[in-house]
Structures are given as C-alpha cells and as structure tokens.
C-alpha cells in the first residue's frame, strides 16, 4: 500500500524496512486513546474555525464509527500499517474520502503519539492504583487479624526483638501507601497535554491548545512545544514508581518464601497459590512469590531500557522514542499481574501463630528487655547491656532461657535483680511495653491500622 507520507520519496520501502519500522504490533493498544484524541482535535479545529463545522461533524462521526467497529469486532486492525495513527487515518479516509484527509491539520504524529501515550498511561495509573489498594486492603485485614500474634523480629536475619505479626505486615502496608502516593504524584505531571506542539515548533494555524486539553481532561498544557514532543519523563517516572512498587512486593515475596519453608513454617500458602514438584511428592513450592520476585528484575530492565534510549537523544523527536512503548507497557502489565496474584496469595495465606510463638521463645529476643529492666534499677545502659549479655551467655551454656532462669543465678550476675525480672522478660509484656508511636504494642499497632485505613 502507498505510504501516506509518499511525496518527497516514492514511499516504496523494502518489506524488511517496513517491518523494522512498524510499531503497530504494540501501539495498537492505544487505538481508543488515539481516536479519542483525534475527536478532540477535530472539535478544536471546528471551534477555532480552522475547519468548517460540517467537516468536523463528519470527522467526529467517522472516528466514532471506527471506535465502535473496533469494539464490536466489525473492524480489525491492519497489522501491515506503520502505526496505529496511520491505521486510523487510513480507515477514516477510506470511509470519508477527502474530508478524512483534513484531520491531520495543525498536528503531527510527534505530538499525537506523545498525547496517546499520556492518555494511555494515565488510565494505567488508575488501574495500578486500584490494584495496589486491593493488595493493601488484604494486608491490612491480615494485620488486623494478627495484631497480637507474637513473632521474632529480625535484624541480619537473626532473631532480634519480639514484635507482633500485625506490626510486621503494617511495614509493608506503609510501603504500599507510599507507592500510591508516588503514583498519584506521577499522574499530576503526566496529566499535561502535549497536543498542539505539532512536529516541534508549534503551528501557523490559530489553534486552541487549552480547548483541546480541557476536552481530554488534562490539567494544563506543556509549556514548550519542543519539550512537548520530546519529553518522556512521565513514562520514566511511572516506571520508577512501578520499579519501587515491584521492589516492595519482591521483599515481601522473599519473606513469604522464607516463612513457607520448613525452617520457619510461619505461614502456609493456600493450595490455590502454590505448585508441586514433578519428582518430589512432598513439595509445596511458593512459585507465585518466586515469580513476583523474579519479575522485579524484568521491571528494572524496562526502566533502564527507556532511560538508556533517552540519554543521548538530541531534541526534538527521534524515532528511537518509538522504543518507549514496549518497555513501559511491559512494566505496566507485569506489575498489574503481580499485584493481582499477590493480593490473592495474601488473602488466602494461613498464618501459623503457634510456630511463630515457639520461635519467639528461643533466641533470647528479650535480652534488650533485661537490659532495660536493669537500667530501671539504676544501672547505666552500657553496664546493663553487659550484664544481660553475660546472663545470655550463661543460658546458652546451660540450655536455659531468661523466662525461667532461677533468681539466684540472675543475682550471681547482679544483685539488683529481684522477682520483677520475670515480668520484665515476659514476651507479651515486652511487646506491650513498646508503646512508642509506630511501635509494636497492640495498642500502637491498632493506632497505625486506624491511620492507614483512613488513608486508604
Ligand atoms: N510510531 C511512532 C512512535 O511510536 C509515531 C511517531 C512517528 N513520528 C515520526 N515523525 N516518524 O514514536
């Protein structure tokens, strides 16, 4: 088929070049946004008197017809077209004749593609945010249900201090809340209209960029037409936000994998979200969590791919920029899938509180509390720390634990110790006393829950 841009050249490119140059395989997903954008453009051409109202009406009807036919399946996208913009204009011209050829007045594919991508990603942000909220809601539910389940908190993957499982889960909830905030922030800068920048320099026609922006629900217009067609920061920013969101899911997935192991056995994933081994009959593998962790690498790759594409580009549009879409769509599709799977996995996850409690009873996670108790008795913290360490060393030697170590043994290390020590090292008391804002006590976790629910 003759190229729409044939003129200067014959437009007869080799099949190899056509295939290499074409983006319709991946930009076809912007068909609806392309048509919506064109309808607003036609309306603007009418409102400013650039085109007669009768032409504008046929253009808008024609575009609506294409959209309806694509949605009903009556029209199929022709994958031999160069891109979605050319496809829509070609069908419009076939259907309307010469009037169809007027649509591209005061416009370029450069501002058109920038517009389509912003419109498309703007919707994707809403979808990603909704799915993040669903995951967050599942995490908050579990946190509420296990707000008083005692589990060891870790540093260096060594048992450190007693915490509640609800408290631990709310750490992830905090991350997801920040992710939502970042997505909303990214949308603010994305929601600025590039249309009317034209090829790069603006236009000689008396266009009304703000009219068109308003029709399409943008908050404002790009200030500079050269930036309007060459800026892909919004896609990079979105991928940055997605990369962080994936990283949070990946850390959470890593813990779920650990917790599901026989070594921990803190949770058991539902059969619906695990797989078996083809050879080892006993296996129950956390493949979903592993895939979420694995796909994080792919999303980082998407981000780096676009950053690298952009780093050496002179202003304004360069065809390199066509490479933006596969990366950003891949990142968007991957994170959406991971969010859905993660929410289902968390909702159906069985929490084994007895095993958590057992783990909390070994590892001397109340040693800090013993030191704090001695500080209460008047010892300076460094001295108290030393006594507590010596008591722990003794326990390790004799196979004892702080909860049941005889008082006489305690007193052989420090004569300030009395019966009150047993209250001090009781795990439940250790948790309840950490009542500082954001801390692990049940009341503190309840306060965090209330705030987070209100934010959601
Ligand atoms: N398919 C192109 C892209 O995705 C559309 C813009 C083409 N503009 C151009 N001057 N060749 O970037």
Q: How do residues 124-136 score in pLDDT, each as one tens digit?
A: 999 999 999 999 9
Interval between CA 33 and ligand 1 midpoint (Å): 15
* Catalytic option among 80, 220, 270, 277: 277
d(CA 171, CA 173) in angstroms, rounded, equals 5
pLDDT tops 80 at residue 1: no
274, 284 in Cβ contact below 8 A?
yes
d(CA 352, CA 264) in angstroms, rounded, equals 10
pLDDT tops 80 at residue 352: yes
- DSSP reduced 3-state for 154: strand
Token pair belonging to 92: 């419009």
| Ligand 1 close to Cβ of residue 322 (< 6 A) | yes
Interval between CA 208 and ligand 1 midpoint (Å): 23
277 is catalytic: yes
Interval between CA 99 and ligand 1 midpoint (Å): 23
Phi, psi (degrees; rounded to nearest 5) at 97: 70, -145
Interval between CA 113 and ligand 1 midpoint (Å): 7
d(CA 318, CA 180) in angstroms, rounded, equals 32
Interval between CA 73 and ligand 1 midpoint (Å): 26
Interval between CA 314 and ligand 1 midpoint (Å): 16
Residue 444: CB atoms within 10 A of its CB come to: 21
pLDDT tops 90 at residue 8: no
Portion of the chain with pLDDT greater than 70, in percent: 100
Per-residue confidence (pLDDT) for residue 234, from 0 to 100: 98
- 398-447 per-position pLDDT tens digit: 999 999 999 999 999 999 999 999 999 999 999 999 999 999 999 999 99
373, 433 in Cβ contact below 8 A?
no
pLDDT tops 80 at residue 2: no
| Ligand 1 close to Cβ of residue 83 (< 6 A) | yes
Which residues are CB-neighbours of 130 under 8 A, at least 6 positions away? none
Interval between CA 23 and ligand 1 midpoint (Å): 8
pLDDT tops 80 at residue 49: yes
Query: How would you classify the pairing of strands 192-193 and 220-221?
Result: parallel
Higher pLDDT, 6 or 384: 384
Residue bearing the CA closest to ligand 1, atom 7 = 109
Residue bearing the CA closest to ligand 1, atom 4 = 322
Tell me the average pLDDT across 167-196. 98
| Ligand 1 close to Cβ of residue 229 (< 6 A) | no
* Catalytic option among 156, 168, 261, 286: 156
Choice from 13, 110, 201 to test ligand 1 binding pocket (greatest atom count within 8 A of CB) = 110
Task: Name the one residue in this structure whose structure tokens are 């296990």.
Answer: 146
Per-residue confidence (pLDDT) for residue 75, from 0 to 100: 98
| Ligand 1 close to Cβ of residue 232 (< 6 A) | no
| Ligand 1 close to Cβ of residue 230 (< 6 A) | no
41 is catalytic: no
d(CA 28, CA 306) in angstroms, rounded, equals 20
- 342-351 per-position pLDDT tens digit: 999 999 999 9
Residue bearing the CA closest to ligand 1, atom 11 = 319
pTM over the 0.85 mark: yes
Q: What is the DSSP letter of 255?
A: H
Choice from 6, 13, 201, 319 to test ligand 1 binding pocket (greatest atom count within 8 A of CB) = 319
Token pair belonging to 237: 């920013």
| Ligand 1 close to Cβ of residue 111 (< 6 A) | no
Which atom of ligand 1 is nearest the CA belonging to 27? 4
- 62-112 per-position pLDDT tens digit: 999 999 999 999 999 999 999 999 999 999 999 999 999 999 999 999 999
Residue bearing the CA closest to ligand 1, atom 2 = 322
pLDDT tops 90 at residue 13: no
- 108-163 per-position pLDDT tens digit: 999 999 999 999 999 999 999 999 999 999 999 999 999 999 999 999 999 999 99
Interval between CA 317 and ligand 1 midpoint (Å): 8
| Ligand 1 close to Cβ of residue 234 (< 6 A) | no
Which atom of ligand 1 is nearest the CA belonging to 83? 1
Per-residue confidence (pLDDT) for residue 254, from 0 to 100: 98
388, 371 in Cβ contact below 8 A?
yes
């Amino acid at each position: 088929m003759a190229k729409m841009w044939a003129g200067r050249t014959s437009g007869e490119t080799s099949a190899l070049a056509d295939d290499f140059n074409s983006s319709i395989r991946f930009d076809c997903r912007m068909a609806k946004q392309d048509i919506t954008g064109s309808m607003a453009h036609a309306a603007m051409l009418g409102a400013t008197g650039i085109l007669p109202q009768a032409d504008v009406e046929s253009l808008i009807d024609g575009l609506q017809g294409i959209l309806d036919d694509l949605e009903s399946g009556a029209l199929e996208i022709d994958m031999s077209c160069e891109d979605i913009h050319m496809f829509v204009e070609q069908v419009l011209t076939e259907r309307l004749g010469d009037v169809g050829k007027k649509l591209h007045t005061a416009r370029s594919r450069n501002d058109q593609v920038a517009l389509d991508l912003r419109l498309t990603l703007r919707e994707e942000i809403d979808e990603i945010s909704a799915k993040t909220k669903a995951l967050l809601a599942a995490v908050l539910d579990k946190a509420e249900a296990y707000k008083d389940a005692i589990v060891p908190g870790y540093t260096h993957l060594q048992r450190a201090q007693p915490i509640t499982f609800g408290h631990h889960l709310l750490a992830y909830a905090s991350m997801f809340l920040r992710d939502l905030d970042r997505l909303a922030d990214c949308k603010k800068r994305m929601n600025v209209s590039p249309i009317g920048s034209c090829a790069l320099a603006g236009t000689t026609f008396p266009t009304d960029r703000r009219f068109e922006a308003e029709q399409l629900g943008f908050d404002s217009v790009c200030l500079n037409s050269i930036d309007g067609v060459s800026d892909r920061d919004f896609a990079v920013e979105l991928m940055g936000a997605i990369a962080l969101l994936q990283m949070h899911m990946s850390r959470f997935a890593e813990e779920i994998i650990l917790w599901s192991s026989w070594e921990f056995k803190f949770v058991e994933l539902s059969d619906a979200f695990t797989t078996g081994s083809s050879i080892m009959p006993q296996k129950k593998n956390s493949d979903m969590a592993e895939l979420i962790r694995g796909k994080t690498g792919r999303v980082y790759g998407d981000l780096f791919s676009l950053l690298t594409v952009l780093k050496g580009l002179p202003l304004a549009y360069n065809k390199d920029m066509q490479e933006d879409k596969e990366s950003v769509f891949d990142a968007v599709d991957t994170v959406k899938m991971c969010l859905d799977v993660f929410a289902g996995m968390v909702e159906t996850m069985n929490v084994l509180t007895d095993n958590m409690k057992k783990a909390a009873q070994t590892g001397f996670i109340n040693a800090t509390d013993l030191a704090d108790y001695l500080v209460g008795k008047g010892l300076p913290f460094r001295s108290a720390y030393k006594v507590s360490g010596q008591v722990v060393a003794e326990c390790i030697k004799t196979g004892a634990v702080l909860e049941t170590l005889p008082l006489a043994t305690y007193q052989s290390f420090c004569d300030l110790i009395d019966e009150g020590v047993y209250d001090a090292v009781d795990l439940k008391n250790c948790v309840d006393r950490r009542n500082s804002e954001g801390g692990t006590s049940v009341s503190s976790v309840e306060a965090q829950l209330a705030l987070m629910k209100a934010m959601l």
